[in-house]
Structure 1
Amino acid sequence: MQRPNCEDFRSLFVNDIPLMDMRAPVEFTQGAFPTSVSRPLMTDDERAAVGTCYKNKGQQEAIKLGHELVHGEVKAQRVAQWKAFCEANPSGYLYCFRGGLRSQITQQWLKEAGIDFPFITGGYKALRRFLIDTIDEIAQKPTMIVAGNTGNGKTIMINELTNGIDLEGAAHHRGSSFGRFVTPQRTQIAFENDLAIQMLKKQARDVERFIYEDEGKSIGCVMVPLSLQATMKQSPIAVIEDPIDVRLDRLLDDYVITMQRDYVAHYGEEQGWILFEEYLEKGMFNIRKRLGLERHQEILDAQKHAIKVMQSTGSVSDHDGWLVPLLEQYYDPMYTYQLSKKAERIVFRGDYQAVKAWFEAQ
C-alpha cells in the first residue's frame, strides 16, 4: 500500500478492514485497533535483544541478530500464521510501528511463500495519529449531552440514537463504582482508538451533530480526551427523569443479574459466584468514605444477605434492600448536586421516551 491519505485511513476503519499487527505482544497489549490481530515478527524478548543490539552496534548488526533469532522452524511457524491470516483476509493489510523494517521483512517472507500482501506505510504510528486527530476534529462538531441520575438508561439511549457516541462502551466501563465488567477495562490508547472509530462510522452516515453521555474527566481508569471534555462542558443538556422503580429495575439488571451471569459464564459456577460477590463488595468499598462507615456497613450487610438469598433460591428481590439506599443516600444526592452546577445548560427534562423523542426531533 502506498502512503495512505486521510481518506484511505478513514476507509480502513469505517469498513472494518482486517489488520495484521507485526509489533511485539507488549506493544499490541498497550494499544491496538478493533480489527487488528497480533501476529508478531518477534517476541517481546527477541525485540528487546534486537533493540539493545541496535543501540550498541547499529542497524546492520541488529538486522543480522533478528534473522538469527527468527529462522528455521521458528520462522516457518510464524510465516504459516501470517499466510493463514492473509488467505482468510485477502482485503486486509499488515503493519508494524512505523511501516519500516518489520513490515518490509514480513512482506518479503510472505512473497517467498507465494503471497503478495500490502503493508501500511507509516504503520501504527500514522494510523494512531489519524485517530487522535479525528477525535480533536469531531469534538468541535455540534454536541448535546444526555444526563440523568443513575439508572435512568443514559447509555441505553446513546446506543439507540443514530448520532449517539458510547463513551462507556469505548472505555469498557460504566463509569461508576460498580462500573467494571468481568473482562478488564481497555487501555487509554485502546479507548481512544475505539472512540475515534465510532466517530468515523457515525460521520460516514452523515451525522454532523453528536450526543454524548454526561461524564466526568475519567471513566474508570481512562481519561476523556481533553478536546472532547472542553466541548462537553459547554454543550446543552437533556435530563432523563424516570421513576425510581424503573431505575431500580435497570440497576438490578446491570449490577446483579447480568454481572452474576457473566461471572459464572466466564469462571464457572463456584468461582463465578465468589468473584461476583467480590465485585459487589468492592463497589461498596470504593464509596465507603462518602457513605460514612456506619451507613456503608448497613448497606453492605443488606447486599451480602441479598447475595445469599439469590444463590440459595434464585430470587433477586432482596437486592432492593441495598440498591434503594444506594440510590437515595449516595447516587441521587451526589448527581443532583453535580447537575445543579450545570443548570444553565439544561434545555429539556422528561422521562426516557420523552427525552429520546426530543433528541430525535433536533
Structure 2
Amino acid sequence: MIRPISIDDFLGRAEPIPLVDVRTPAEFKQGQIPGAFNIPIFTNEERVSVGTTYKQVGREQAILLGFDLTGNKWSGFIKQALEIAPAKKIAVHCWRGGMRSGAMAWAFDLYGFEVYLIEGGYKNYRRWSASQFEKPYPLTVLGGMTGSGKTKLLHQLGAMDEQVLDLEDLAQHQGSSYGTMNSRVQPTQEQFENNLAFELNKLDQSRRIWVEDESLTIGRRCIPKPFWLQMRTAQLLNLNVPREQRVALLAAEYGVLDKDFLIECTERIWKRLGPEQTKNAILAIAENRMADFVSIVLVYYDKTYLTGLNKRNQEHIVFLNIDGNEVLKNATQILDSIPELDSTQIR
C-alpha cells in the first residue's frame, strides 16, 4: 500500500521509518533530508537526458526514455531497499513528489513494501526548514572572547541534561580564519540549513536552549537571518576568562596543527592584523612559539568580539568570571547563574 504523508507528519512520527531519496547523486550531495538514503533512479547524466527530452519532445517520450534507462535497475533498487528497510516499511521522496518517487513507490509496493510517499518531496522539506527559523525559541547565548572554552562548556551543559545547539558542529567550522582546523569539510549552505532545522525541531521549545555566540557567518556558511536575529536579541551570558588562560588553551589546540595551514590562515587576515603583526605571527608559527602567535592574533579577535558585544542590548547581558580549566566546575557555575539570567529575560 502507498500512503501519502506530509513532512510534518513524517518527522513527527514516534516510530522512525527509513527514508529513501530517489534523486540523482548530485542533487543528494547538494542537500538532503538528514538521515535519508540515496537510491537514485537516474544517474546525473540520465536525468539531464530525460529532462531535455521532456522539454524538447514531450512528457510521454520522456517517460519512455526513463523506462529504457531504468529497465534493468529495478531489482537492484529493491535489493537496496531491503538492506535499508528489512521490515519492508519505507518512505520515498524525489524533488517535488513527482514521477521519480511515484515510480519507485509503485515498485516497492509491488514487491510488498508498506510505502509512505512524502507529499511535495524534498521541495516541501526545504519550505519546512525555512519555517523552523521563523519560530521563536527560548535561547540563552553563551558568549566570551576567543579561547574561553565555550564549545567544551556547551557540550558539558548538554551532558548535564541542558538543551544545547552546537552551530559550529553543524557548520563543521570553529568560526575563525583557522576554523576548519585543517580537517573539517563544511556542508553546503543548503545542507547546513537542513541540518539546523532538523535539530531545532527536536528541541523542547518550553525549555531553555543554550547556543554559542556566533557572527552571521561560520566559515563559509551563513546562519539563517531570522534565527540569527533571535540570537542577537536573546539573553547573553558572557564569560570573562583570564587572557593568559585563553592563550594557553588556544596554543595547545593550534600547536598540533600543520604550520603551513596556520601560516596560510594568518595570511588571509593580514589586512586586519596589519603587515607588521602578520609578519611577527608567521615568524612565531615557524619558530613554534605558539603562545606568541596566539597573543598576536587575539588582539584582532578580541577587538572584533568587543565590537559585536557593544552592539547588543546591555540590559540583556550577564557577565560571569571564569577562572580555571575545570569544565564541570565551570558548567556548574554557569547553571548557578540562571536566576540572574532570568532576571534579564526579555519581556
Q: TM-score, normalised by structure 2?
A: 0.84
Indicate how the Cα distance of structure 1 residues 6 and 99 shifts in structure 2: closer, same or farther if over 3 A, else same. closer
Say what the alpha-carbon RMSD is for the aligned residues.
Answer: 2.5
The one-letter amino acid paired with 1:168 is E
Residue 337 of structure 2 aligns to a residue whose secondary structure is: helix
Q: Deviations over 1:250-280 (max 9, x none)?
A: 32454344xx4xxxxxxxxxxxxxxx33432
2:120 to 116, 119, 122: 122
Report the CA distance between 1:358 and its aligned residue: 1.7
Q: How does 1:7-22 map to 2 (within 5 A)?
A: 7-11=8-12, 17-22=17-22
Report the CA distance between 1:51 and its aligned residue: 0.5
Q: Could you tell me whether the CA contact under 8 Å between 1:2 and 1:121 is conserved in 2?
A: no
Residue 173 of structure 1 aligns to a residue whose secondary structure is: coil
The one-letter amino acid paired with 1:200 is N
Gaps of 5+ in 1: 261-275, 307-317
CA distance in 2 between counterparts of 1:149 and 1:90 reads: 52
The one-letter amino acid paired with 2:277 is R
Q: Could you tell me whether the CA contact under 8 Å between 1:171 and 1:191 is conserved in 2?
A: yes
Q: How does 1:223-242 map to 2 (within 5 A)?
A: 223-242=222-241
1:324 to 278, 295, 298: 295
Residue 130 of structure 1 aligns to a residue whose secondary structure is: helix
Equivalence for 2:145: 149
Q: How does 1:26-105 map to 2 (within 5 A)?
A: 26-72=26-72, 74-87=73-86, 90=88, 92-105=90-103
Report the CA distance between 1:332 and its aligned residue: 1.8
CA distance in 1 between counterparts of 2:225 and 2:310 reads: 23
Report the CA distance between 1:23 and its aligned residue: 0.5
Report the CA distance between 1:292 and its aligned residue: 1.0
Q: Could you tell me whether the CA contact under 8 Å between 2:138 and 2:206 is conserved in 1?
A: no
The one-letter amino acid paired with 2:184 is T
Q: Could you tell me whether the CA contact under 8 Å between 1:238 and 1:348 is conserved in 2?
A: yes
Q: Could you tell me whether the CA contact under 8 Å between 2:254 and 2:290 is conserved in 1?
A: no
Residue 184 of structure 1 aligns to a residue whose secondary structure is: coil
> By percentage of residues, which structure has more helix?
1
Indicate how the Cα distance of structure 1 residues 36 and 7 shifts in structure 2: closer, same or farther if over 3 A, else same. closer
Indicate how the Cα distance of structure 1 residues 60 and 249 shifts in structure 2: closer, same or farther if over 3 A, else same. farther
The one-letter amino acid paired with 1:107 is A
Residue 103 of structure 2 aligns to a residue whose secondary structure is: helix
Q: Could you tell me whether the CA contact under 8 Å between 2:143 and 2:213 is conserved in 1?
A: yes
Report the CA distance between 1:95 and its aligned residue: 1.4
Q: Deviations over 1:268-313 (max 9, x none)?
A: xxxxxxxx3343222212211111112101111211222xxxxxxx
Percent pairwise identity: 29
Indicate how the Cα distance of structure 1 residues 59 and 330 shifts in structure 2: closer, same or farther if over 3 A, else same. same
Q: Deviations over 1:216-269 (max 9, x none)?
A: 221111211121122223222211111234323432454344xx4xxxxxxxxx
Q: Deviations over 1:113-153 (max 9, x none)?
A: 4544333222112222222212211xx23333221100112
CA distance in 1 between counterparts of 2:17 and 2:174 reads: 28
Residue 183 of structure 1 aligns to a residue whose secondary structure is: coil
Residue 117 of structure 1 aligns to a residue whose secondary structure is: strand
CA distance in 2 between counterparts of 1:345 and 1:224 reads: 24
Residue 300 of structure 2 aligns to a residue whose secondary structure is: helix
CA distance in 1 between counterparts of 2:170 and 2:303 reads: 27
Q: How does 1:295-310 map to 2 (within 5 A)?
A: 295-306=277-288
Report the CA distance between 1:17 and its aligned residue: 4.6
Equivalence for 1:350: 320
Residue 48 of structure 1 aligns to a residue whose secondary structure is: helix
Q: Could you tell me whether the CA contact under 8 Å between 2:173 and 2:184 is conserved in 1?
A: no
Residue 201 of structure 2 aligns to a residue whose secondary structure is: helix
CA distance in 1 between counterparts of 2:58 and 2:27 reads: 22
Q: Could you tell me whether the CA contact under 8 Å between 2:7 and 2:128 is conserved in 1?
A: yes
Gaps of 5+ in 2: 323-329, 343-347
Equivalence for 2:326: none
Report the CA distance between 1:168 and its aligned residue: 1.5
Q: Could you tell me whether the CA contact under 8 Å between 1:9 and 1:130 is conserved in 2?
A: no
Residue 238 of structure 2 aligns to a residue whose secondary structure is: strand
1:284 to 247, 266, 281: 266
Q: TM-score, normalised by structure 1?
A: 0.81
Q: Could you tell me whether the CA contact under 8 Å between 2:3 and 2:115 is conserved in 1?
A: no
